[in-house]
Amino acid sequence: MKRFIPKASDDVRGPDAILAELEEVFRSPWADRMEEIATLVSALRVDGNLLRWFVAKVAKRREWPKLTGAQSFTLFSSDTMLVRINLWFPLPPGASESYRRYLSIEEIHNHDFHFFTTCLFGPGYTSTFWRDEDFTETRRVGETLLLKEQQVHRLQGEEVWFVEASSDFHSQHAPESFAVTLNVLPNWLERPTTIQYVLDDQHRIKTVIDSGLPPVDLAA
């Protein structure tokens, strides 16, 4: 996981213009332009513009957008990126293990896609991160992963995080009050693997998830 703290943005453009620029950036070798991407992602949170833009579009359509995950809604998608918001709620007293799993709370897992994320509203949330430098998609349930570099960070303020597909494992902890975060997934259909792992507290694989999407050979 990489953390970026862009300077307070003076970008007065609306979300449509910023999203259009992000689309163009992701058509280039975007891994060399992460600082620029983080600044654009941070600009989307200025004065709540993106949330107002989202609510206005919902009101115009008179329906909620597509649910992509337990608490995620797609705001925008194209051939170069997908943008979604995530709604985070405090855990109710006595929340069941199945409810925690449904929201991926206190569940150590990775993803089969890269994403940038920032907090749009509320206190954000805290995550524990680890690195897996030897990712392979042939692992099986019960295998133990040798994860490294345990770190704890809170997603808040102007921070933008980049979470790397496959190699970054994290466990998300419920916020103390309602929060909204933003994910920007670059080239989200071009993934080198479709395999994701969920681990127990001893870092043993307890679930192997295959997204079912055909992987793209990025080396071709």
pTM above 0.85, yes or no: yes
Segment 91-118 shows an average pLDDT of 89
Torsion sign across C-alpha atoms 12, 16, 19, 21: negative
Of 2, 3, 1, whose CA–CA distance to 159 is shortest?
3
Give tens-digit pLDDT for 123-147.
989 999 999 999 998 999 999 999 9
Residue 59 has pLDDT above 90, yes or no: no
CA distance 180 to 157: 12
Query: Is residue 131 domain-resident?
Result: yes
The reply to whether 65 falls in a domain is yes
CA 197 to chain CA mean position, Å: 16
Question: With 0-12 CB in 10 A as exposed, 13-18 as middle and 19+ as buried, what is 156?
Answer: middle
Whether residue 18 is contained in a domain is answered as yes
Task: Tell whether 219 is covered by a domain.
Answer: no
pLDDT at residue 150 tops 60: yes
Query: Is 61 part of a structural domain of the chain?
Result: yes
d(CA 186, CA 79) in angstroms, rounded, equals 9
43: domain CATH number?
2.60.120.10
pLDDT for residue 214 is more than 80:
no
Number of domains in the chain: 1
- pLDDT tens per residue across span 109-128: 999 999 999 999 999 899 99
Task: Note whether residue 121 is domain-resident.
Answer: yes
**Does residue 217 form part of some domain?**
no
> Other C-beta atoms within 10 Å of 18: how many?
21
Secondary structure of residue 75 in the 3-state scheme: strand
Look up the domain containing 181 and give its range. 2-210
Is residue 219 scored above 60 in pLDDT?
A: no
Q: Residue by residue, what is the 3-state secondary structure of the chain?
A: CEEECCCCCCCCCCHHHHHHHHHHHCCCCHHHCHHHHHHHHHHCCHHHHHHHHHHHHHHHHCCCCCECCCCEEEEEECCCEEEEEEEECCCCCCCCHHHHHHCCECCEECCCCCEEEEEEECCCEEEEEEECCCCCCCCCCCCECCCEEEEEEEECCCCEEEECCCCEEEEEECCCCCEEEEEEEECCCCCCCCEEEEECCCCEEEEEEECCCCCCCCCC
* Domain annotation covers residue 91: yes
